[in-house]
Amino acid sequence: MSDSSTHDETLSGDAALARPYARAVFELARSQGSLAQWSDSLALMAAVVRNDTMRALLDNPRLTRNDAADLLIRACGTDIGDTEKNLVTMLAENDRLSQVQMIAALYNRLRDEAEGTVEAEVISALPLSEAQKTAIANALKARLGRDVHLNCSVNEGLVGGAVIRAGDLVIDGSAVEHLRQLSSALVH
């Protein structure tokens, strides 16, 4: 498996805009003992903003910032409380609703760090057995020094192998990556 650590490359441009909001929400959630609740609320907000129909509505130049906030708040319904609604309103006022997904991602990193855990995404060509999942989680725990929660998915386009992302660590052991490396070696 090739191993290429990327320090904040995936969180580059938008991260600078989203980071202060993520940190503020994290500090608030930690002080209130509501880390899990905020993860859920931010995930909901991010899912709503990611929706194609909602994205088109929010991108409409005729929509005022207040209307955009109201639209997002209504779409989230009763699943978010007053503090979350205040965040949405503030993000809209500062023209940062498009940052909700990044805010959620950065918040979850802060939460994982505080809780001594890390979320790892494993994309494999075939479904993983429980033994394989356990082996991957144990290997990542040994390498990263934290408990690991795996999110596994299948992408048959990988042909074989797997791609693992945990924080800034990316391990690409897919057959596609091996073929790319072989091709590159043959050309050079």
Task: Tell me the per-residue pLDDT of 158-168, one tens digit each, with 9 for 90 and over.
Answer: 878 888 888 77
The predicted pLDDT at position 77 comes to: 93
Structural domains in the chain (count): 2
Pairing mode of beta strands 162-166, 2-5: unpaired
Phi-psi region of 123 (alpha: psi -120 to 50; beta: other; left: phi over 0): beta
37, 151, 21, 101: CA torsion to nearest 10: -110
Q: What number of helices (H) and strands (E) belong to the chain?
A: 8, 5
Give the pLDDT confidence score for residue 4 in this predicted structure: 39
Question: Which of 80, 110, 140 lies at the terminal end of a domain, its last residue?
Answer: 110
pLDDT recorded at residue 168: 76
Structure confidence at residue 2 as a pLDDT band (50, 70, 90) = very low
41-51: pLDDT as tens digits: 999 999 999 99
Task: Write out the two tokens for 17.
Answer: 């805009």
Checking if the pLDDT of 1 tops 80, the result is no
What is residue 68's predicted lDDT score, i.e. its pLDDT? 95
Domain with 181 in it: 117-187
% of the chain surpassing 90 pLDDT: 61
pLDDT value of residue 178: 74
151 and 64 part of one domain = no
Residue 168 shares a structural domain with residue 127: yes
Please tell me the distance from the alpha carbon of residue 56 to that of residue 64, in angstroms, as a whole number.
14
- DSSP annotation of 60: -
Q: Of the candidates 135, 168, 170, 133, which has an alpha carbon nearest to the alpha carbon of residue 151? A: 133
Which helix (H) or strand (E) segment holds residue 83: the answer is helix 82-93
> To the nearest whole number, what is the mean pLDDT of the chain?
88
CATH code, domain with 124: 3.40.30
CB 124 within 8 A of CB 152: yes
Q: 122 with 168, same domain?
A: yes
Give the model's pLDDT for residue 131.
Answer: 93
pLDDT of residue 78: 94
DSSP state, residue 72? H
Do the Cβ atoms of 173 and 161 come closer than 8 Å?
yes
Asked if residue 92 lies in contact with residue 70, where contact means CB atoms within 8 angstroms, the answer is no
Q: Would you state the pLDDT for residue 184?
A: 82
User: Could you tell me if 36 and 121 lie in one domain?
Assistant: no
How do residues 53-106 score in pLDDT, each as one tens digit? 999 999 999 999 999 999 999 999 999 999 999 999 999 999 999 999 999 999
**E runs forming strands in the chain:** 2-5, 117-124, 147-154, 162-166, 169-172
Query: What's the confidence (pLDDT) of residue 186?
Result: 84
Q: Which pLDDT score is estimated for 183?
A: 78
* 123 and 106 both lie in a single domain: no
Is 90 exceeded by the pLDDT of residue 13?
Answer: no
Cβ-contact 121, 151 below 8 angstroms: yes
Can you give the CATH number for the domain in which 35 is found? Answer: 1.10.520.20
